Amino acid sequence: MGIHSFCSSVGTIARWEVRRTLATTSRSLIPVTIVMVVLLLLVTGFAAEQGFHLTDGIYLAGTDDPQIASLVAGDPRFEVITGDRGELRQYASHLDLVILDGAVEAAPTERGDAALRTLSRDYEQLQSMIYRQEEDLFAAYPLWIDLRYVTVPVSLGTTEPAVTPEAGEAPTPAGPAETVDTPPATPAVTREELREDLARSGTGATQPLQRYTSLLTGEPATGEFQIPDQIAPPLPFDSLILVFVFIFPLYFVSQFFMMSVMDERLGRKGEILLATPLSPAAIVAGKALPYTGVMLAIALILILMTGVPPVAIAALLPVVLFFLAAALLIGMVSRSFRELSFLSILFSTMATAYLFLPSVFANIHVISLISPLTLIVLLIQGEAITLGQYLFSTVPVFLAGGILWAIGTANFTEERLFAYGPFMQRVTDFIGGVISIRHPYASLALLGAFSIPFVFMIQLLTLALFFNLPLRLSLPLLIIIAAFIEESAKSAGIIALYRIKPAFFTLPAILLSAAAVGVGFLAGEKLLLFATLAQITQTVFAQVLFLSIQSLWMPFLLHATGVAIVAAVLRLGGPRASGAGILAATAVHSVYNLVLIAGVAG
Amino acid sequence: MNARHIRVIALQELRGLGREKTIVSAILLQLFIALFSSFLMVGLVAMYDPGALGPASADFRVGISGSGDQVEELMDARPGLHARSLPLGDAMAALREGRLSAVVYVPKTPPDADEPILVTVWLVRNDIRSSLVAASLKEVLGSFEQELREVRADRLKQRAVPLAFPEEASGGGYYEFLYGLLVPLLLFLPAIISGALVIDSITEEFQQKTLEVLLSTPVSFPDILRGKVLAAWVLVPIQAGSWMLLLAANGIDIASPAEMLLHASLIALVLILLGSLVALHYRERSTSQFVFSIGVVALMLAVLAVPENPVNLVVRMAVGAAGPAHWLMLGAEAAIAASIAVLVALLARRVIGPGALRNPDARSQEM
């Protein structure tokens, strides 16, 4: 089929999809959407004006000074009572803070500690507000910092100098001393310019969200020079909220697409579509086209409204495709509306977490670029994006979306759409849909390689989740779960193949498949590592490649062994043994990793 | 109303949930949100204020050049930082070789000078340690700023009301996050999930055309609805209660858990009934879920913007700062739930009229 006829079939399906959606969903959908959006805007405006009253009145403070009372009551988290010393002493056991003659005393409880912390942050903010208006600015802010960065090429695996606190004398550099111009003793700008910079950056501290992060008092520095308070890189709070505004509509639109896919399966409605001479790829693409258009249109409107640089849409594009691809699959595997809801909520929460987590660190480290949302944060902050950065942060997401899309398209058949087996079995069948029986090893290797972006995403999230546990517990747990995730990903192809053709797994075939998956998985893993490190170090491509090739044998054997174990267990125990096989492989993998870590540590 | 019919429908709903094991993903979802938000909080604090995690976990060497005696003293007083004074050229070379984590240059300006003192700090770009060093340096330089400010104090014209704080306690950093965010989140998530659940359950009967079959049995439509609402509702106290127990097991004391569960359950009932209302009106999943979820977001924003709102009340109950006035609120919540229940019943009656089983829009097309 030529590209032209493909496009015209996509167009036909897309038109059909628009008509169908308008007919089946309530016809009042568009007016309802407008009403809901207006309502949301009104409520947001109201909330922005009133502030959030979530933690109002959680602390109780008592003071003998009405002036202090009004100061403390300025923060709605405090309820304040005034009284004389005797009365306050009498009620002290009910009070979180007692302030007598300007001396603050906290109750010896957790709540008392928290109240004390909150009040002292409030007081700091009050003070800096007063300092900022001080006529003699350099008496209020006598110290200014000029923060400069040097770029150091990372040397991997070489001698990382251990810090030895007991070594009293200064370190002597191995190389010659550098010639550095003595830095200026005073800022090269006027007092009023500095004051303006302070005033501009001073807005951040009153954000309602920052209430929760009372520790993060770092204010964004807008000028060239900073006061000590501004040194720590600021959290890009405002930009993150703005990014969320961009992502939010994507959920809803992908919900409609998901439901439209599911709808084809209700009462086998989709049979008519499948009976046409159109290819599944054209049907799926055609169905998705209107939703892609709506998502991009909404993004464009938001860009115009918020004044974000229009390039942001390029960063949003992979996210749009990823969401649609996931929606397609969720719509195809769900067996009921409830399952559709749960899977979609679970997916959107985890995808959001994955996409947002790195962009929180946008101002700290370049690795935050693994999320395309970081690009948007940077764009909002007025920074330029290079093509290399764009590719680094969007290619994995494009790739992950593309893989999901391919799986969905390959399984858009009568056999898959109208079957309702147990959930895991359906997932396995879907993976089996992309395995070519004629080229089983190549398929397995590719599946192994393509599972890497997903393994990476899930492992990053688990890392985040176990962060809270004590290290002694979290480290072994992380190793085991990481091994489990990797082994599950690697054996997915094997289990799917076994369901299609159990007789395939003879001993040589088991070994060959294990090798194929091992090679594919390792290649994907190294490619990702390579791209990541190249982005950080920029210069040491060859070194990275060389270093990792040296130690390629051991991980290959490990990956292949895991797959071989699963395949062998399947061969011996039948399809029900797949879980046991993965667990056995996980055990071997974890032991290997633990020994490796113990070896490095010891 | 037939209690046995309602029970049968409710049990059938719950069995369906159990069979699909989809409830597992709902629990996973809540666990994920709780753990992830905790991670963000703890992780961010560690990243921006390493001292907050307790004793210094890493040691950094900082080179000091120029007239930095005072800064060096302050730095050595801080655990985790080790000041080394050396010429600027050497220091910069050592920074590039990775022997120092930062270099600080202090000019020879006297503390009481008219002009400000400009300190130059060099850090390594794109090194995660740089942000940790920066956070430590921030404190040291903050103390230096304070000392300089005291020297120049007689030039300051305005003063804040003097307040003397005791040596700051180490704890308390996560208190507001735990009680002000995590507790209400875990308490109200099950309510929102159940609201979405009842929409799926009702619209599915219309869209899968199973309602006609169901209505040919002796079970009446209002009883089917009651059963579905009941099934969604009982899940709420079970989940919310488990979260409370889990929090307690983690050493997070909740002042009045039973009363909080009452509030959470009644608010959940309001949401579930609102969900039923939307589902009965549209009889189609996409639109219903869309309207419901935007509606819930708008409702929450609106509620939170009002002082003394029920969510705030629950937070205050969690920390033990709410009086008996919450019983009044509970009554108000029950009254709201009852009035929406009446609306649902009115709408349900329209559904069982002749020809009413079709999509409302299809019906209007006929006319």
SS3 B76: helix
> Per-residue pLDDT tens for A380-405?
877 888 888 888 888 888 988 999 99
Nearest CA in chain B to A184: B118
Whole-prediction pTM: 0.82
Name the nearest CA neighbour of A368 among A382, A378, A381.
A378
A175 lies within 8 A of chain B by CB: yes
For A:130-149, CB contacts with B below 8 A are 130-131, 133-136, 138-149
Is the separation of the CB atoms in B329 and B263 below 8 Å? Answer: yes
**Position A506 confidence tier, pLDDT thresholds 50, 70, 90:** confident
For B:63-102, CB contacts with A below 8 A are 63, 66, 82, 84-90, 92-100
SS3 A568: helix
**Residue among B123, B284, B294 minimizing CB distance to A149:** B123
**DSSP-H helix ranges across A51-161:** 66-73, 85-91, 110-133, 137-140
The predicted pLDDT at position A243 comes to: 82
The predicted pLDDT at position A203 comes to: 44
B124 lies within 8 A of chain A by CB: yes
A337 lies within 8 A of chain B by CB: yes
> Per-residue pLDDT tens for A233-280?
666 667 777 788 888 889 889 999 999 999 888 878 888 888 888 888
Count of CB pairs separated by less than 8 Å, A with B: 444
Range scoring the smallest mean pLDDT among B64-78, B121-135, B174-188? B121-135
**Residue among A52, A116, A468 minimizing CB distance to B169:** A116
The predicted pLDDT at position A360 comes to: 74
Residues A585-594, mean pLDDT to the nearest whole number: 87
pLDDT reading at A160 higher than 70: no
pLDDT reading at B279 higher than 90: yes
pLDDT reading at B125 higher than 90: no
The predicted pLDDT at position A537 comes to: 53
Contact A170 B63 (CB under 8 A): yes
For B:204-263, CB contacts with A below 8 A are 204, 207-209
The predicted pLDDT at position B58 comes to: 63
* Cα A429 off chain centre by: 29
Q: How far is B341 from chain A (nearest CA, A)?
A: 23
The predicted pLDDT at position B66 comes to: 87
Residues B258-271, mean pLDDT to the nearest whole number: 95
> Per-residue pLDDT tens for A172-213?
777 777 888 888 888 888 888 888 777 766 544 444 444 444
pLDDT reading at B295 higher than 80: yes
Q: What is the 3-state secondary structure (H, E, C) of B236-275?
A: HHHHHHHHHHHHHHCCCCCCCHHHHHHHHHHHHHHHHHHH
Is the separation of the CB atoms in B285 and B349 below 8 Å? Answer: no
pLDDT reading at A293 higher than 50: yes
The predicted pLDDT at position B57 comes to: 53
- What's the Cα-to-Cα distance from B151 to each of A123, A140, B146, B154, rounded to whole Å? 21, 11, 9, 8
pLDDT reading at A296 higher than 90: yes
Range scoring the smallest mean pLDDT among B216-230, B322-336, B346-360? B346-360
Query: Which residues make beta-bridge pairs with B83?
Result: B62
> Per-residue pLDDT tens for B244-257?
898 888 788 888 89
Looking at beta carbons, which residues of chain B come within 8 Å of A361?
A: 47
Contact B116 A144 (CB under 8 A): yes
**DSSP-H helix ranges across A501-540:** 507-537
> Per-residue pLDDT tens for B24-48?
777 888 888 888 777 777 666 665 5
Give DSSP secondary structure letters for A425-444.
HHHHHHHHTT--SSSHHHHH
A171 lies within 8 A of chain B by CB: yes
The predicted pLDDT at position A557 comes to: 84
pLDDT reading at A161 higher than 50: no
pLDDT reading at A62 higher than 80: yes
